[in-house]
Amino acid sequence: MTSLHQSGAATGSRTGRPRRRRVGTGGRRGVPLPLLLPGLLALAFLLLPLVALLIRAPWGSLPGQLSSTEVWQALQLSLISATAATAVSLVLGVPLAWLLARTDFPGRGFVRALVTLPLVLPPVVGGVALLLALGRNGVIGKWLDSWFGITLPFTTAGVVVAEAFVAMPFLVISVEGTLRAADPRFEEAATTLGASRFTAFRRVTLPLIAPGIAAGSVLAWARALGEFGATITFAGNFPGRTQTMPLAVYLALQNDPDAAISLSLVLLVVSIAVLAALRDRWMTGA
């Protein structure tokens, strides 16, 4: 904490003087102090809790705690369900984003607001809403149960549904933004050359917005991996079936904080590894 402060102040004063001299020349090295300090504070604020996790980690008992089958079950389930939720989001979310960006219909602004609702909704509320819609006794779930014998709560499919519910808006927003930035004249050119609307979408639009789709998928995947409230409310908590890592962390915190820290570390490492790897490959230049 203190060392960060000092280094921040030092760089600040060093860059402070040349900044004044370079006024008007547009020098790129002169970082304005009013931006530097809050920026560094923000960095410290975002990173310190994670550093604290590393400092407090029970390194000695870590191997023992991580070798338990329940941890691996939870991690495996988390990875599988987050990936499945991302796939669902891609299949359904990209077309939705296209509809929002490329078509005009009455109340489109309202629909766009609704799409982002799960972003701001407390996840537990999302879980209750899902239960009321898709639960065994829910508006649609009732029919799913009596016609097909499908019940989603307490199943891995339920976990995927809960995660997709909170993660899909990230993908839709990201893809819609990229679509709006992409020039629609390319698609129009393709259609005037004889391509059907769908071929134009597949051959022209999709490659054009690929970076946006990748960025959105990464965001959605990360959100799904960390999802807690909707999952425990809608899908419940059963080891190996619906207990994802965040649920395991929360329940471990009740009586074994050390175990919770160890589990959090695993989730942290996995998240960083995937985000970093994908960011390098897909997201630069996005």
Partner 1 sequence: MTRSVRRTRRMLQLAGAGAAALMALSACSSSSGSAKSKDTSASSGSSASPKLSGSVTVFAAASLKESFTTLGKEFEKQHPGTHVNFNFGGSDTLAASITGGAPADVFAAASPKTMKIVTAKNDAVGTPATFVRNQLEIATVPGNPHKVASLKDLTKSGLKVVLCDKTVPCGAAAQKALDASHLKLTPVSYEQDVKGALNKVELKEADAAVVYKTDVHAAGDKVGGVEFPESAKAINDYPIVLLKNAPNAETAKAFIALVQSAEGQKVLSQAGFLKP
Q: How far is the CB of 72 from partner 1 (least distance, A)?
A: 18
Does position 189 bind partner 1 by CB under 8 A? no
Q: How far is the CB of 96 from partner 1 (least distance, A)?
A: 28
Considering beta carbons, is residue 136 or 180 the nearer one to partner 1? Answer: 136
Does position 135 bind partner 1 by CB under 8 A? yes
- The one among 238, 272, 276, 281 contacting partner 1 by CB under 8 A: 238
Does position 73 bind partner 1 by CB under 8 A? no
Q: How far is the CB of 252 from partner 1 (least distance, A)?
A: 7
Does position 156 bind partner 1 by CB under 8 A? no
Does position 69 bind partner 1 by CB under 8 A? no
Whether the Cβ atoms of residue 235 and residue 162 lie closer than 8 Å to each other = yes
Cα 214 from Cα 103, distance rounded (Å): 23
- The one among 205, 217, 233, 262 contacting partner 1 by CB under 8 A: 233
Considering beta carbons, is residue 243 or 264 the nearer one to partner 1? Answer: 243
Q: How far is the CB of 154 from partner 1 (least distance, A)?
A: 4
Give DSSP secondary structure letters for 8-38.
Answer: HHHHHHHHHHHHHHTTTTT-SS---HHHHHH
Cα 271 from Cα 144, distance rounded (Å): 35
Does position 237 bind partner 1 by CB under 8 A? yes
Cα 100 from Cα 121, distance rounded (Å): 21
Give DSSP secondary structure letters for 105-138.
Answer: -TTHHHHHHHHTHHHHS-HHHHHHHHHHHHSTTS
Q: How far is the CB of 122 from partner 1 (least distance, A)?
A: 15
Q: How far is the CB of 244 from partner 1 (least distance, A)?
A: 13
Burial status of residue 15 (CB atoms within 10 A of its CB: 0-12, 13-18, 19 or more)? middle
Cα 163 from Cα 224, distance rounded (Å): 5
What residues between 253 and 272 interact with partner 1 by CB under 8 A? 254-256
Q: 231: closest CA among 121, 141, 130, 90?
A: 130
Does position 74 bind partner 1 by CB under 8 A? no
Does position 15 bind partner 1 by CB under 8 A? no
Left (φ > 0), alpha (ψ -120 to 50) or beta: where does 121 sit?
A: beta
Using CB under 8 A, which of the segments 69-77, 114-122, 231-239, 264-272 binds partner 1?
231-239
Cβ count near 6 (within 10 Å): 10
Considering beta carbons, is residue 135 or 212 the nearer one to partner 1? Answer: 135
- The one among 236, 270, 274, 275 contacting partner 1 by CB under 8 A: 236
- The one among 100, 232, 263, 266 contacting partner 1 by CB under 8 A: 232
Distance of CA 137 to the CA centre of its chain: 30
Whether the Cβ atoms of residue 131 and residue 153 lie closer than 8 Å to each other = yes
| Residues in contact with partner 1 by the rule CB under 8 A | 1, 52, 55, 131-132, 135-137, 153-154, 232-233, 235-239, 242-243, 247, 250-252, 254-256
